[in-house]
Chain A
């Protein structure tokens, strides 16, 4: 019946409008440092089996194929694109870029946000808080884990490729180490949960965090004075936007065509 056509088209509209939401979010975050673009993945829905293949007709002939009608489309999930965004030199001492596409900074969060109290981020825009701790420069001021305290009398701060933070104190000629920044990797980073604030938290799909010093075991080194720009490509997003919008329109047309057919049938008895 044409009602299946109606439902198929409606499933198309719903999946495509979700796709529009995803594209809009990507575009809105095209200037968010450390942001990773998502894409929506579509899959076709179940098929209704109207005639089974292999049934035998009165002649004894076997039906070689069945008669199937698809029931539309659904959004199977969103997939994060963890490719590295371009580096943006800022010259600020607490801006740090990770030179790979799989490591994350670790920050402490409330334990109801992430079990274990650690969330992960690619955004390396840190500042110091009133106690001298390195924190994320967001409204929540998440503290970097392991904690790094910059003393008040520090003149210059240097963060090495290997994550070692050293300072040059007033009146001193030799730099002294104040801490070591650690980064974490995941087997399946696309399985991380997105919780906003540029943060990700682990899930069963991502696997546990494997943390350690930058530059070891496949973890990329750190680069002080640069930030990672959003990896959203506005051009592809806009092309996707146009395509999604047109596909949306076509599906709404298909609702009209199915409606027309149903209306005709509904008026059969009115002569």
Chain B
């Protein structure tokens, strides 16, 4: 069959995938603590090698063409966003490697870089965006005195009335590649260790997505789609010629 038709089709598919990922990065340029996803693509191996089928006979000529194009796993780029002063005492930004540990409604520990905090009606420290409880170093929610001034030092220690009241839990992923996004600025990390990030009170970390880069990649991918689609049309045309003219019976 016409091998090239499928190669061009994989080119269209991966380019569309690239557009999807960059569109999401671009949509999140104002999301506090957002980390952009990077798209990696790779050459696809010929089918005989990819499926490791010892019985398939090698077709050397075709295998020289390669097997097309595949999307590799998306990687979240944990680059530092710039810190923006807000002056609000319950805004913290992480400077360096690490995440704030929070507890979801069903008791699961999740991680975030979005340090816009708030107190809930019970006086517990929660995330302002979804109300999840922020955890201390002992993995317990942090209860504060709502009337007292709050100071959070760079090592995550929370001071109220001049004494250390509690300490934020700053954890980092053992393997930065195994950080999985869950939406709502949250990350699922299987294995963690102590993070090295410094806590900056009165700041938020802006989105690390680069809008210009994302837009360039989107337009670029659109061009790649159009080039590959054009190639498909040529393949189609060749087939049409083959069946309609060369291989016409009678």
Chain A interface (Cβ < 8 Å from any Cβ of B): 1-2, 4-6, 8-9, 11-12, 15-16, 19, 41-47, 50-51, 53, 58-59, 63-73, 76-77, 79, 81, 83, 102, 185-188, 190-191, 204-207, 217-218, 243-244, 246-247, 250-251, 253-254, 257-258, 260-261, 264-265, 267-269, 271
Contacts and interface: CB of A to CB of B under 8 A. Distances in A.
Given A44-B184, A71-B24, A264 B73 contact: no
Interface of B: 12, 15-17, 19-32, 34, 37, 50-52, 71-75, 87-88, 114, 116, 118-123, 128-131, 146-148, 177-178, 180-185, 211, 214-215, 218-219, 221-222, 225-226, 229, 232-233, 236-237
Contacts, number: 222
A205 B30 contact: no
Task: List 3 tightest A-B contacts by C-beta distance, closest first.
Answer: A218-B147, A12-B27, A70-B24
B31 A42 contact: yes
B180 to A, nearest CB: 7
Contact of B120 (A43, A72, A77, A205): A205
Interface SS, B side: mixed
Contact of B73 (A63, A186, A244): A63
B190 to A, nearest CB: 10
Given A2-B16, A247-B29, A69 B129 contact: no
Contact of A258 (B23, B51, B73, B237): B23
Contacts of A269: 236
B40 to A, nearest CB: 10
Contact of B211 (A218, A247, A258): A247
B37 A258 contact: no
B110 to A, nearest CB: 13
